[in-house]
Structure 1
Amino acid sequence: MNKQYVDQVRKFNREYAKVLGRIDQEIYNQPFSLTEARVITEISTRGECTATEIRENLGIDRGYMSRMIHRLEEEHVILKKQALEDKRQFLLYLTEYGKKIYSELVEQAKQGVERMLHTIPERNLSRLTESMQTIESILLKKETVQPEVIIRPYQVGDIGYVAHLHGKLYKNTYNFGPLFEYYVMKGLSEFMMDHDGGELWVAEVNGDIAGSIAITRFDEKTAQLRWFVIDENYHGLGIGKKLMETAIQFSKDQEYQRIFLWTVNILNAARHLYGKYGFVLTEEKENDQWTGSRLTEERWDVELS
C-alpha cells in the first residue's frame, strides 16, 4: 500500500472531523449526547431493532450501551417490547416523546449543515456532494450514481460563463494573460451578432455548466470548431467526447465538407482527442502575446466527406 494514500486519507479524516465536530457541538449541547442522538436516529431509521444490532453497527461498548438504553427508558424516549419470535430478545421503539426528540434533532442538524454550507458557492456545492457520493460508494461498496450530463444549445446568459471558463482555466493552468481573454470574448461577441450556419453548445452536469464547444461558418464548405473547453472539476465524465460528437454531427448535417480548429501545442489532452476524431496538424505559427513565453499555435483539419 502506497504510504501517500494512507497519509491523505488520515489528513482528510482529521479535517472532516473538525468540520463536523463544530456542527455537533452546536447541535448536541443539550440533554442528549452525540452517541445518544445516534442511537435515537438508528431506532427511528430501523423501525424496530435490538440493542445488540445498534451496538454492533455503531461500535458502542456493551456496558455503555446498556447504561444508555436504561437512561433513555427512564426518560421515556424509548420503550422495549419482547420479540415474538425469540422471547430472549427485546425490540426497541421510540415513544411519542422520542419521536418528537428525533424530529428536533433532525431539524437542528439541518440548520447546522445549512449554516456551514451558506458561504459555499452553488457550483461548488454540486462538486462537494458528488465527491461525498463517490467516497460513500467506494468505502461502502455501493453502486456509484453517475452524474447527469446534458449537452444543449446555448441560452441567454451562457456566453459570459463560457468566456469565464476560458479565462479561469487558461490563467490558472497555463498562465495565460488578459489578451487571451479579450480574444475569446471578442470572438464570442461576434458570434452572438451573427451565428448563421453555426451553433454553440454547453455541457451541464447536474444543472451546472461544465464545458462548451461551438461550430462557426468559415465558408460554404468549411466550418471552424471553436471555444472547446471543459471545467477541470468535471474531467473523467466523457464530456469532451460528447461535445466533439455533437459538433461533428452538426457539421455533417449542415453539409460542411471539412472542419478546422486552432489550438496551442501545450494542450496535449485536447490534441490527443482531436487526433482520435481524424483531425491532422496542417499549419503552425508562433504566438508571444498570450503568455510570458512563446507558444506555437496549431491548425488541425479533418475532411468530413
Structure 2
Amino acid sequence: MSAHPALIEEIRSASRTMVRELGFMRATLAATDYSPSAVHSLLEIEAQTGLTAAQLVQLLDLDKSSVSRMVAKLIKAGELVESADSDGRVKRLQLTRQGKRTVAAIHAYGQLQVETALEHLNPSQQQAVAQGLAAYAQALNAQRTGESQAPGSAVEISTGYRPGVVGRVTEMHAAFYARHSGFGQFFESRVASGLAEFVGRLDQPCNQIWVATLNERIVGSVAIDGQDLGNHQAHLRWFILDDGCRGGGVGRQLLREAVAFCDGFGFEAIELATFKGLDAARRLYEAEGFALTHEEQGSQWGSVVTEQQFTRLRPDAR
C-alpha cells in the first residue's frame, strides 16, 4: 500500500532531524572517540555474545574490509579481543574489561539522551514514539533483507481490564470519528462514560473485552456486552484500531475472538451499531456473517450521519 507523498516527505524530514540531533553527522558518537559504526559494533558485540567479524558485516550492512579495519582498531585500542574456537577456524569477538566500561558509558549517554527528549512529550506521545519507531525500524530492516513483516505481526491480543483501557480506547474513537464524521466532545464523552460503566461489569461471565497491544501500547479493542440488549443477544461494542495497525489482520483477529466468545456462550445473535462509509470494517463484519438489518440518518452525535445496524445469527439458530 503506497503512502501519500506528503507523509513520505514528513518522515524524511524527521529522519534528517534525528540523524543530526543524535550526532550521526559527527565523526564520533555518544561522547566517545569512536565512529558511529564502531560504537554500534561494540553495542552489538555486547548484545550478541560470540559474534564473528563476518556476522558483524551482515548485521551492520557494511563491507568486509571496513569491518576488518574497524575491528582491528578496536582490538588495538583495548576494547576487544578475538578468540578462536576449539578447531581454530572461527574467531569470535568479545569485549575486554575496558570495552565493557566503554559500552556502559555509551548506554548511559544514550539513556540520558532519550530520557531528556521524552520529558518534552506526554505519556501518550511517548508510547506513540516507541510504537512508531519500532514499526519503522522493522520496515526498514524488511526492505533491506527482503523479509516481509505484516503491520500486525508483533501485536498481542489479551482479554480483560488493563490500566488505561478506558482512556486509550476513548482516545482512538475520538480521534478517528473526529476525522471521519466530524464528531466532537459529546461523542467522546459518551464513549468514555459507556466504556467506564461497562468495565465495571466485566466480572459477569457474559461480558468481555479484547485489547490489541504493540510494545505495551493499546492499539485496538473490541468488546461484547452480554447484558444491555437482553433476549439472549450480545452487543458488539468499541471495535476500533489505531491507524498504524490497519490492514495487518489485527481487526479480523479481534472480531473473530469476539464472535467465537459469543458462539461459545450460546448467544442467539450479535448486534452492532456503526456508520455508513466505514467500508473496511463492513467487509470484516460481513466476512464473519453479519448482515445489514437497518439504517437511518441521525444527528445525535453532533453531525448528520447514516447509522447502520448489523446482525449476525448464531449458525445453528439460522
CA contact (8 A) 1:202 1:209 kept: no
CA shift in 2, pair 1:126/1:24, >3 Å:
farther
- 1:219 is aligned to 230
The within-5 A match list for 1:49-68 is: 49=53, 58=62
CA contact (8 A) 1:286 1:297 kept: yes
CA shift in 2, pair 1:25/1:246, >3 Å:
same
1:132 deviates by: 1.1
- 2:146 is aligned to 141
- 2:301 is aligned to 290
- In 2, Cα distance between equivalents of 1:270 and 1:249: 18
TM value normalised by structure 2: 0.70
1:56-93 deviation digits (Å, cap 9, x = unpaired): 9645998xx59x967984x6667899xx989xxx9998
CA shift in 2, pair 1:156/1:200, >3 Å:
farther
1:115 deviates by: 3.8
- 1:203 is aligned to 211
CA RMSD of aligned residues (A): 4.5
- In 2, Cα distance between equivalents of 1:48 and 1:224: 57
- In 1, Cα distance between equivalents of 2:118 and 2:30: 19
Q: Please state if 1:153 is matched with 2:163.
A: no
Q: Please state if 1:167 is matched with 2:167.
A: no
Secondary structure, aligned partner of 1:266:
coil
1:283 deviates by: 1.5
CA shift in 2, pair 1:220/1:197, >3 Å:
farther
CA contact (8 A) 1:167 1:180 kept: yes
CA contact (8 A) 1:258 1:301 kept: yes
CA shift in 2, pair 1:85/1:239, >3 Å:
closer
CA contact (8 A) 1:281 1:301 kept: yes
- In 1, Cα distance between equivalents of 2:282 and 2:178: 19
CA shift in 2, pair 1:39/1:198, >3 Å:
closer
Of the structure 1 ranges 110-119 and 201-210, higher mean CA displacement relative to structure 2 is found in 110-119
Equivalenced residue count is: 294
Q: Percent identity?
A: 24
1:100 deviates by: 4.3
1:301 to 299, 302, 311: 311
Of the structure 1 ranges 170-179 and 273-282, higher mean CA displacement relative to structure 2 is found in 170-179
- In 1, Cα distance between equivalents of 2:166 and 2:254: 16
1:253 to 264, 276, 290: 264
Q: For the pair shown, which has the larger CA radius of gyration, 1 or 2?
A: 1
- In 2, Cα distance between equivalents of 1:241 and 1:40: 42
Amino acid of the structure 1 residue aligned with 2:307:
E
Secondary structure, aligned partner of 1:21:
coil
Secondary structure, aligned partner of 1:289:
coil
CA contact (8 A) 1:151 1:243 kept: no
CA shift in 2, pair 1:33/1:200, >3 Å:
same
Name structure 1 gaps, 5 residues minimum.
none
- In 2, Cα distance between equivalents of 1:189 and 1:92: 55
- 2:109 is aligned to 108
- In 2, Cα distance between equivalents of 1:250 and 1:80: 57
1:295 deviates by: 0.8
Name structure 2 gaps, 5 residues minimum.
none
1:216-267 deviation digits (Å, cap 9, x = unpaired): 2312232222221122222233222222222222222332212222111122
